[in-house]
Every structure is written in C-alpha cells, then in structure tokens.
Copies of this chain bind each other. A is one copy, B any other.
Amino acid sequence: MLEQTKVNIIDQSNEALLDQMGLKKTKLRLELVKHFKDAKHAQSYSDLKQIMGEGVDKSTLYRNLSAFEEVGLIHGINDHSGITKYALGASPSAGQEHAHFVCESCETVYCVKGMTEIQMKVPSGFKAKNIQTIIRGTCANC
C-alpha cells in the first residue's frame, strides 16, 4: 500500500501521479491534473468545465473530481456559496492544516498555507479529528 500523504504532488509528472494514485491516465484526467497544478485558486465545477471545454461531460467531470478527492490528489472546500471548489492536495488533516480564504467580492477561494495557527479545545466527550478554517475577506485582486 502506498502512503498517499508522502507523495509530493507538485514534483511528479502528471502521468506518474495518476499511476501512483491507481487512476487510469485518460486525456481529461491529465488535463485536470495539469490545470490543478497551475491554478492560483480553488476551482469550481463550472470553472473546470469552461477550461476543459464545454464538450466535457458533467458526470465524467464530477466523477473525476470525486476520484481525485478520494485518493487525496485534491480536496474540496465548502464555503457559504454552496458550490464546492477544489484545490490540489489532500484534505488538511492533523498537523498539516491550512486555511481557505474566500473573497467576498469575487467569490474566489484560495488555499492559505502556514499562516494560521489554531489552538482548539473541545467539550469533554468530543473528539476532534480535523479542522477546517475559512477566512472571509477581500483578496488582492479586488
């Protein structure tokens, strides 16, 4: 078994990456991975559809996003908009949390790594496994 958390996503070729994740290398998947690597902010379904081409099937795209998320290649972010956005990297887990910045003006979502420090206690009887932080505000482009 492969330890996904130890795979360095950015340094791998797109092909190697899909191989390691046990995913077949289809044209769309390669394009998706490439795009996620370049993306400066989190991508919604419609962002991706626009970039991958309008001909791309909805189910196929969504199924690939799910597949990518399952293996930890990307992670979904749920802000107040109700539209899930995806960004490269596994879901932030214990020890490697990162926050998400949502711009209130353009609704763009950015991953903000290593800039938040969260100390949490939970009521007795509760067990915390992971933490997700969403910062709302105005981004550099707005």
Residues of A within 8 A of B (CB): 76, 78-80, 82, 84, 99, 101, 104, 110, 112, 115-140
Q: Is the interface of A mostly helix, strand, loop or mixed?
A: strand
Taking a contact as CB atoms under 8 Å apart, the answer to whether B112 and A135 are in contact is no
Taking a contact as CB atoms under 8 Å apart, the answer to whether A133 and B132 are in contact is yes
Could you say which residues of chain B place their CB within 8 Å of the CB of A76? 80
Taking a contact as CB atoms under 8 Å apart, the answer to whether A121 and B129 are in contact is no
Could you say which residues of chain B place their CB within 8 Å of the CB of A84? 82
Docked CA distance A82–B139 (Å): 25
Docked CA distance A129–B118 (Å): 17
Could you say which residues of chain B place their CB within 8 Å of the CB of A82? 78, 82, 84
Could you say which residues of chain B place their CB within 8 Å of the CB of A137? 122, 126-130
Could you say which residues of chain B place their CB within 8 Å of the CB of A80? 76, 78
What are 7 pairs between A and B in contact, CB < 8 Å?
A78-B82, A101-B128, A112-B122, A116-B119, A118-B133, A126-B138, A129-B137
Taking a contact as CB atoms under 8 Å apart, the answer to whether B118 and A123 are in contact is no
Taking a contact as CB atoms under 8 Å apart, the answer to whether B121 and A115 are in contact is yes
